[in-house]
Structure 1
Amino acid sequence: METEREPNTVEEPKAAYGLYSYADYLTWQFEEVVELIKGKIFKKAAAAPNRIHQKVSVKLVSRLYVFLEGKKCQVYDAPFDVRFPKGSKEDHKIHDVVQPDICVICDPEKLDDRGCIGAPDLIVEILSPGNSKTELKLKYELYESHGVREYWIIHPENQNVLIYTLINGKYVPSGLLTSGDVVESTAIEGFKLDLEEFFGDIE
């Protein structure tokens, strides 16, 4: 029986065995920014993120960059490929490639000229109107299964943050954090974010 197409997948060339790999990904010339999850193509929620999304991203990247300067961990923002290999690191055997809005990598061995191969320590996704529930669910499962230590979801319009912390291989949610709360990262020791102050000039 034919399965229903995922709501945010893009028109795509025919894949061998129905799955795409990072080797395929490197050959594409889509106008949209795309990601690869479980061998399927997904359109990035917003190829040109809105102003508030960009303001939150730039502000958080700046805070992380200053905090991490001189330390082992490094922060990167999109577009930046993160590949999640299962066993083999060969391009044609990697079926998960995403571009998180922000990520922090503390193991320099995971970095190469093409981005990151393996799980970042922290991933931040900033929601846009185009984000689908399917995309969020698949990314949650992907990050949890590959051992991303901390996963932040920021809702810029509502000015709140949800944090998932990996404990014994499973994500534990923080509960919704908003103005008046101070976010303290467990993956990036010592990094804190006063949400009232952080969101204060974002409008």
Structure 2
Amino acid sequence: METQPEKNLAKEPDFAYGSYTYADYLTWEMDEMVELIRGKVFRQAAAPGVIHQRISGKIFYSLYDFLQGKSCEVFSAPFDVRLPVASKKNEYIDTVVQPDLCVVCDAEKIDERGCLGAPDLIIEILSPGNNRKDLKLKYEVYEASGVKEYWVIHPDERTLLIYTLDERKYRASRLFTLGDRVISEALPGFELELDHVFGGL
């Protein structure tokens, strides 16, 4: 009786240990979204909720309309943003994130796999379980890699905080909420009414 040859299936690594790169990331076949931050793997616990999706959609279309005819382009997750430090080679990149929304104004950073380099604007909408990742870990890598502006939105509290890069360090805005209008320094001329973003949720 002939034995069937074993299939060469890539075994999912034990992410609790080890450090990984984008070259490793490309070999994984998983159902859920994962991000790589300084070599460590972070899984998304669950799909974004309805309020998260509504906020993301409203901001995406506001940005999309504003950017018509301009050199910048807006992207929504899932969309890989690779943040190289010393080298742009896959085996040396240890941070790959999927921001909820990002705007890229340098067309040379866009390729068939996503964005290679720091976007001009990144927007993250907090979800249960990812607050530490977005408020600390992503803050640190976005600042270090030169993301000009980082927006953090808290859906439950209906608030928005903007971090603007100033001499390689983030400067925090005041906390914006309903009734406020926010203005982007990274995208001159772009304004967003938070009543529009949070209204009807």
TM-score, structure 2 normalization:
0.90
CA spacing shift, 1:72–1:142, aligned 2, 3 Å: same
2:45 and 2:148 map into 1 onto residues whose CA distance is: 23
Q: Does 1:92 align with 2:105?
A: no
Q: Distance in 2 between the 1:197 and 1:60 partners? A: 9
1:14 is displaced (CA, Å) by: 5.2
Take 2:128 and 2:14, find their aligned partners in 1: how far apart are those partners? 29
Distance between the aligned counterparts of 1:148 and 1:50, measured in 2? 26
Aligned to 1:64: 63
Q: How big is the shift at 1:134?
A: 4.4
On the 8 A contact 1:45/1:128 being kept in 2, the answer is no
Please tell me the residue identity of whatever aligns with 2:132.
K
- The aligned residue for residue 119 of structure 2 is 120
Structure 1 unmatched runs, 5+: 1-11
- In structure 2, what is the Cα distance between the partners aligned to 1:55 and 1:45? 19
Whole-angstrom distance in 2 between the partners of 1:116 and 1:149? 15
Q: Which moved more, 1:92-101 or 1:126-135?
A: 126-135
- Inter-CA distance 43–188: structure 2 relative to 1 (3 Å threshold): same
- Distance in 2 separating the partners of 1:93 and 1:173: 31
Aligned partner of 2:67: which letter? L
* TM-aligned CA deviation for residue 137 of structure 1: 0.7
Contact kept in structure 2, 1:103 and 1:124, CA below 8 Å: yes
Contact 2:182–2:192, Cα closer than 8 Å, also in 1 = yes
Cα deviation per residue 1:52-95 (whole Å; 9 max; x = unaligned)?
00000011101100100110000000000000111211111100
Q: CA deviation at 1:130?
A: 2.1
Larger Rg: 2
Does 2:158 correspond to 1:159?
yes
Q: Percent identity?
A: 59
Paired letter, 1:32: E
* CA distance in structure 1 between the aligned counterparts of 2:133 and 2:60, rounded to whole angstroms: 26
SS where residue 19 of structure 1 aligns?
coil
Q: 1:166-193 deviations in whole A, cap 9, x for unaligned?
A: 0010001102100121100000110001
Distance 1:119 1:68 in 2: 18
Q: Deviations over 1:20-46 (max 9, x none)?
A: 010100111122210000001001253
Alignment of 1:41-60 (within 5 A): 41-46=41-46, 48-60=47-59
Q: Distance in 1 between matches of 2:52 and 2:167?
A: 32
Mapped contact 2:179–2:193 kept (Cα < 8 A): yes
What is the aligned-residue RMSD (CA, Å)? 1.5
Q: Structure 2: which amino acid aligns with 1:38?
A: R
| Partner SS, residue 103 of structure 1 | strand
Aligned equivalents of 1:91, 1:184: Cα separation in 2: 36
3-state SS in 2 of match to 1:72? coil
**CA pair 59-197 structure 1, distance change in 2 beyond 3 A:** closer
Per-residue CA shift, 1:149-176, capped at 9, x if unaligned?
0000011121110000000100011021
Quote the residue 1:9 is aligned against: none
**Residue 108 of structure 1 corresponds to which residue in structure 2?**
107
Where has structure 1 moved over 2 Å in runs of 4 or more? none
TM-score by length of structure 1 reads 0.89
